[in-house]
Amino acid sequence: MAKIIDGKQISSAMLDTVAAEVAALKAQNIEPCLAVILVGEDPASQVYVRNKQRACERVGIRSVSHILPVDTTQQELLDLIGSLNADPSVHGILCQLPLPAHLDAQQLLLAIAPEKDVDAFHPVNVGKITIGNAKLLPCTPAGVMEMLRYEGISPAGKHCVVLGRSNIVGKPMALLLLAADGTVTVCHSKTPDLAAETRRADILVSAVGKRGLITADMVKPGAVVIDVSINRGEDGKLCGDADFEAVSRVASAVTPVPGGVGPMTIAMLMRNTVTAAKAQNGID
């Protein structure tokens, strides 16, 4: 059976480290602050925001939430982001997605100052990731890399296959694996023989959002399987893209859903907020 990569345990260790960094900054009269913008009443988004607030409390980061009605206008949001950009006491700004349909998410994300973009969605930060000198990394892919480091799994010289090409996970995941000297293949809906590609993977990362996509016969014996997706099974329970029980009998290590990558995403958000606070105060 595969080793279960415990995201809860790894993220807890990371949060302890972040808390120590926050305490050190506070000793220098610097209080890291994360501002979160939530528009509307999407239940999943509300849960995510609460989880982020709890993580901030745990590590000592000041959390400021702007909970806005669903009919908030684009200009009102742009004005809010502008005021947060100009506030030196705010180090990170996060606009919770998805936004209501009448809002232009891309314009709003572009409005966030790159140095306060703790999601690392701004083109400036994406460009820095591409050339390998980014301080702020996209939270979910960076969380995956942290899990691999924690488990002593190096991508160097390995064939890494990423399923999905989204701007949030797939593309930056491929870039981070490439930066770690992995040989990277990105698969997507137009890939003609997905199973042939996945069977070549030493490290397989799936971020498609399709329950049951990865079956045991699609996994190379001894491969590491990182399941990023969160879906709901027929029984209503959370699950990933992989058939967890079957894949666990073939892989050497696998992440569960829930309790795998999810907790790492929030831990990396906390780390990014501290990184941003340091950079904005001239601390390396």
Give the catalytic positions in this structure: 52, 96, 119
3-state secondary structure of 248: helix
Contacts of 187 (CB under 8 A, 6+ apart): 161, 162, 163, 164, 194, 197, 198
* Under 8 Å between Cβ of 271 and 135: no
| Distance from C-alpha of 105 to C-alpha of 90, rounded to nearest angstrom | 21
| Distance from C-alpha of 228 to C-alpha of 257, rounded to nearest angstrom | 8
| Torsion angle in degrees (nearest 10) through CA of 197, 203, 209, 215 | 60
3-state secondary structure of 275: helix
| Torsion angle in degrees (nearest 10) through CA of 239, 173, 254, 221 | 120
Angle between helices 7-26 and 43-59 (to 10 degrees): 50
Amino acid symbol at 148: L
3-state secondary structure of 231: strand
Q: How many Cβ atoms sit within 10 Å of the Cβ of residue 245? A: 9
Pair type for strands 238-239 and 231-232: antiparallel
